[in-house]
Structure 1
Amino acid sequence: MLNLFNRAAVFTSVGAVGLMVLTACGGVGGNDDTDKGGGKDEVASLNSPSAGGTSTSTSASAGPDAGRPQIRLDSTNEEVNRMYEAWQACLKEHGAAEKYKRKPNDPAVLACKGKQPLDPPELDPAKNPDYADDVREMVKCMKGHGIKALVYEGSWALETGNEMNRPHYDEYELQCQVKAFGEDE
């Protein structure tokens, strides 16, 4: 079975474990921090919410996500890391268990829900009617930079996690993400 990692989960894991195969997945646009196993023939799915600012909404009537930090398509890895570090710090302050064992109704998870970053809406197939075309454009752009990417299960993925070690990977991923998901044609 293929691993699908949430990029945000990887950013969080990198701080604790070091460099590891990344991404944003479980499903694009999700904030699932679970690791679903791994193997040598697996594809690292890259749901790249490489993001930027922490634009937040202050309207209480805006819904359950109001006030949460919003990752943007052009957010840098450092910006995304800061958002997730703030959320992780909150969880730790509230006594959360190790991240892969958290349950959605865990009191710490509930207490820190307002600090959990939101992925860019452009990376959510339910909110982006051009998502499939954007995924194909993302793969094309990454391949144009010599990065072995492919369309996999409705999202984009790397052929191997080693692709992330290529020079300028983060820069190319961010450029391609903005180009593929951010530009209207």
Structure 2
Amino acid sequence: MLNLFRRTAVLTSVGAAGLLLLTACGGVGGDDDAGKGGDGEVASLTTPAADGGSASASADPDAGRPQIRLDSTNEEVNRLYDAWLACLKDHGAAEKYKRKPNDPSVLACKGKEPLNPPELDPSKNPDYSDDVREMVQCMKSHGIKALVYEGNWALETGDEMNRPHYDEYELQCQVKAFGEDK
């Protein structure tokens, strides 16, 4: 079931809102600061503001967040999400699917929320539409019923994820279709 969390994250980043096939779950573990003596918070620089106070010098709100690579395995992705979910739980997060962006637990754990691969973001990938079509063709070449859906790739049914070697083929096709070294 942890592998489904990766697919949910990837498909969400691809914008497959029409795919309500996937669910997510998480445990504890990953690349958190638990064993390192850190408090898990992300440091930011401050500079004096014009009014004498201080202003944040961080230009990138995503700086320091863990980055999922295009070739990350399900296990690697699960570890990153496990660390984020553990942080949310430690900060008193309510039900996992009803959090609001300004929820204190979400704000406290923003630095641990994994970033999806930039190649899967249509606003950052000028070849996104072509890559989606290539992803679908690659999945079909492995006997997996995939399609282009509202400009994104999707599976015809959730049963496709139960095919032998699905995870392997999905990762292979994703790297082939969206990778820079095509």
Of all paired residues, the percent bearing the same amino acid is: 77
Q: Name which one, 1 or 2, has greater alpha-carbon Rg.
A: 2
Q: How far apart in 2 are the matches of 1:144 and 1:131?
A: 20
**Runs of 5+ in structure 2 lacking a partner?**
23-30, 32-42, 46-57
- Contact 1:29-1:120 within 8 A present in 2 as well: no
Matches for 1:27-176 after TM superposition, within 5 Å: 27-28=13-14, 44=21, 61=58, 63-176=60-173
Give SS of 1:125's match. coil
Are 1:11 and 2:5 matched, yes or no?
Answer: yes
SS at match of 1:108: helix
Helix, strand or coil at the partner of 1:99: coil
In the alignment, which residue of structure 2 is the partner of 1:179? 176
Deviations 1:104-138 (A, max 9, x none): 10000000000000000000000000000000000
Change (3 A) 1:184 1:69: same
The C-alpha deviation readout for 1:11-32, integer Å capped at 9, x for no partner, is 17xxxxxxxx8553445279xx
- TM-score (ref. length: structure 2): 0.73
1:56-91 Cα deviation digits (max 9, x unpaired): xx9864500000000000000000000000000000
Q: Aligned-pair distance for 1:183? A: 3.6
Secondary structure of the structure 2 residue equivalent to 1:101: coil
Q: Aligned in 2, Cα 1:125/1:95: closer, same or farther, shift over 3 Å? A: same
- In structure 2, relative to structure 1, the CA distance for the partners of 1:22 and 1:73 (3 Å cut) is same
Q: Offset at 1:99?
A: 1.1
**1:43·1:157 contact (CA, 8 Å) conserved in 2?**
no
Return 5+ residue gaps in structure 1 as ranges: 1-7, 13-20, 31-35, 46-53
Going from structure 1 to structure 2, the CA distance change for 1:151 and 1:26 (only over 3 Å counts) comes to: same
The DSSP-based 3-state class of the residue aligned with 1:164 is helix
Q: Distance in 1 between matches of 2:115 and 2:166?
A: 23
Give, in whole Å, the separation in 1 of the partners of 2:114 and 2:3: 11
Output the amino acid matched with 1:181: F
- Tell me the secondary structure at the aligned position of residue 10 of structure 2: coil
